[in-house]
A = this chain, B = another copy of it.
Amino acid sequence: VPTVRVACVQNDPAFGARDANLDAAEALLDGVEADLVVLPELFASGYSFRDRAEAEAAAEPFPDGPTVRRLLAWSRRRGAVVVAGFPERAGARVHNAAAVVADGRPLACYRKVHLFGFESDVFDAGDDGFAVVEHRGLRVGTMVCFDWIFPESARTLALRGADVIAHPSNLVLPWCQRAMPLRALENGVFTATANRVGTERRAPRPALRFTGGSLVAGVDGVVLASAPEEGPAVLVADLDPARARDKRLPGGNDRLADRRPHLYGSHTVSSKDA
């Protein structure tokens, strides 16, 4: 697999103005040449749904909705993989989802596994887990925003062979941008976090300020490219997928093969799902 270029789009959507938000994202992408394009969580719909009915009204089927159709067109024009968040309607369920499309074809729809805060009032948690798709030899895993804080999310994607984790986000807590280089390091993968900026005031919900700082991190825990905390931006970085397929560290250990799962308690302890 040759070197690939990843682009993260950091946008500033207006709540509910889907078509204008799509046009603005398309303008940001104008002239950007990339093999993988990542856009934020719910990048065209906005985030702060007041209630379930509002989320249902905004939700679209996959892949036959207006947002995903636009993503398909972008991916066709560029020959790229495009990963972007949108509200998905699936029968009676509504998911905080990320479409994964390439070359004009739908590849996967990831349904956010770990809902953040109020999201569980308006979305159904995804029950399909984490998936990796391969396109032109590049293996792309997807997680959304708050999934990052559970190390199991990125770990699962790495164990399933991801070279790069596409990470559409709407971050409001202060930690993720600092943490992603470690997620990349501990798994020996690249990460591409596309975060939004701006503030949503959707009373009675508290105002939410999104923190920008979109970033691409490398397998050795470095920041390869990052965007400012404020303002729309597109950042690009070139990745060598071969570096994600050699998990060795200085000293010779293998970040995945040297795991000792029978000594980990993570599946033996009660949880909501156990």
Contact = CB atoms under 8 A, between A and B. Distances in A.
A160 interface: yes
A266 B266 contact: yes
A151 interface: yes
Interface stretch (A20-28, A84-92, A171-179): A171-179
A59 interface: no
A257 interface: yes
B266 A271 contact: no
A272 B260 contact: yes
Interface string A244-273: 000001111101111111111111110111
A155 B266 contact: yes
Contacts of A173: 249-251
Nearest to A117: B251
Contacts of A150: 186, 255, 258-259
A149 B249 contact: yes
A130 interface: yes
B155 A151 contact: yes
A207 interface: no
Interface in A48-89: none
Given A117-B252, A251-B116, A149 B267 contact: no
A231 interface: no
B152 A255 contact: no
Contacts of A271: 256-257, 259-261
Contacts of A179: 182, 185-186
Contacts of A151: 151-152, 155, 186
A51 to B, nearest CB: 17
A189 interface: no
A156 B116 CA distance: 23
A128 B116 CA distance: 35
A128 B172 CA distance: 40
A159 interface: yes
5 cross-chain pairs, A with B, having the tightest CB-CB distances, nearest first: A117-B251, A151-B151, A129-B263, A156-B265, A152-B264
Given A129-B263, A153-B264, A257-B271, 17 more contacts: A113-B260, A114-B258, A118-B251, A128-B263, A129-B264, A130-B263, A149-B255, A152-B266, A155-B265, A155-B266, A156-B263, A156-B264, A156-B265, A182-B182, A259-B266, A261-B271, A264-B267
